[in-house]
Amino acid sequence: MTPEPVVRTVGEGVARVTWSVELATEEFRVAVGRVSAVVEEALRVHARVEAWVSPDDAVGQRLATWAGMHREGVMRGVPDPGGAARDLVVYARVVADAPVGEPAGFRALLNSFLPRKRAISQLLLRDPSGRVLMCRLTYKRDWDLPGGVVEVGESPQLAVGREVEEELGLVVAPGRLLLTDWLPSWGGWDDALCLVFDGGVVEESVLETVVREEREIAGVQFCAPDEVRRHAADFTARRVEAALAALADGPGYTESGR
């Protein structure tokens, strides 16, 4: 008979559940029921019950999830008994979690492991001659449109207004969405969606009112399209050109500006 999952206390109020590889060969609902029962029992005397699962163990990850444990992230470089470093996916359930059988509990469980995508909001501001406001950044050589990362739970349209005010001291009401640009994984970054909103036309004299966030913004200036090409990365220049085209053609979708 397959051994029962094992629970041991690993800290004050914290227990860790493990199971044998044989458990994964059982009928899946039976295996989930056995792990779930052990987790629920452990929560009677612990505030938190966790499981550490190998990223390569797809069945183990499914078992932990459907036993009601939320995926919390990956611990990198954890030493194993032989001294080698390995990554482990951390799953946990705490006393305060809503029961999985309730809608809120089930949604929270799904939310813990479904993919999440980073969103970036940028603003297309032009002067009367059609030049685009570009920022020279302190943390990279390439110039970019003003804007930044959308916070969790924040509207992308509100986010770009917040970022422009924080980084440039400009209060601008973002207009319509011009462009959705998908950015593939690159240089250590996960993929992301970049949303470019219409910032309208402002006088060049607006530069005199800019108050730079000096940790991030080294300078700002209006650039003609050929200047954007000289100062920005290729994919950024393509995004700016696509956003300008959308002013007349309507909202567009690109991938890395194409």
CATH number for the domain including 154?
Answer: 3.90.79.10
Residue with tokens 């078992």: 63
Residue that terminates a domain, selected from 67, 82, 113? 113
CA 127 to chain centre: 33
Number of folded domains that form the chain = 2
Same structural domain for residues 87 and 182? Answer: no
Encode pLDDT of 200-210 as tens digits: 999 999 999 99
Q: What is the CATH number of the domain that holds 18?
A: 3.40.630.30
Of 60, 82, 113, which one is at a domain's C-terminal end?
Answer: 113
d(CA 190, CA 197): 22
Structural domain includes residue 1: no
129 and 107, same domain (yes or no): no
Residues 190 and 62 in one domain: no
* Tens of pLDDT, residues 89-123: 999 999 999 999 899 999 999 999 998 899 999 99
> Among 74, 95, 113, where does a domain finish?
113
* pLDDT for res 87: 96
Show the 3-state SS of 43-72: CCCCCEEEEEECCCCHHHHHHHHHCCCEEE
Residue 41 has pLDDT above 90, yes or no: yes
65-78 burial code (b ≥16 CB/10 A, e <16):
bbbbbbbeeeeeee
Q: What is the mean pLDDT of the chain?
A: 94
Are residues 201 and 237 both part of a single domain? yes
Do 156 and 195 touch, CB atoms closer than 8 A?
yes
- Same domain? For 203 and 130 the reply is yes
CA pair distance 215, 192, nearest whole angstrom = 23
**Do 109 and 139 belong to one domain?**
no
* b/e sequence 180-207, b meaning 16+ C-beta within 10 Å: bbebeeeeeeeebbbbbbbbeebeeebb
Q: Which structural domain range is residue 74 located in?
A: 6-113
Task: Give the pTM.
Answer: 0.85
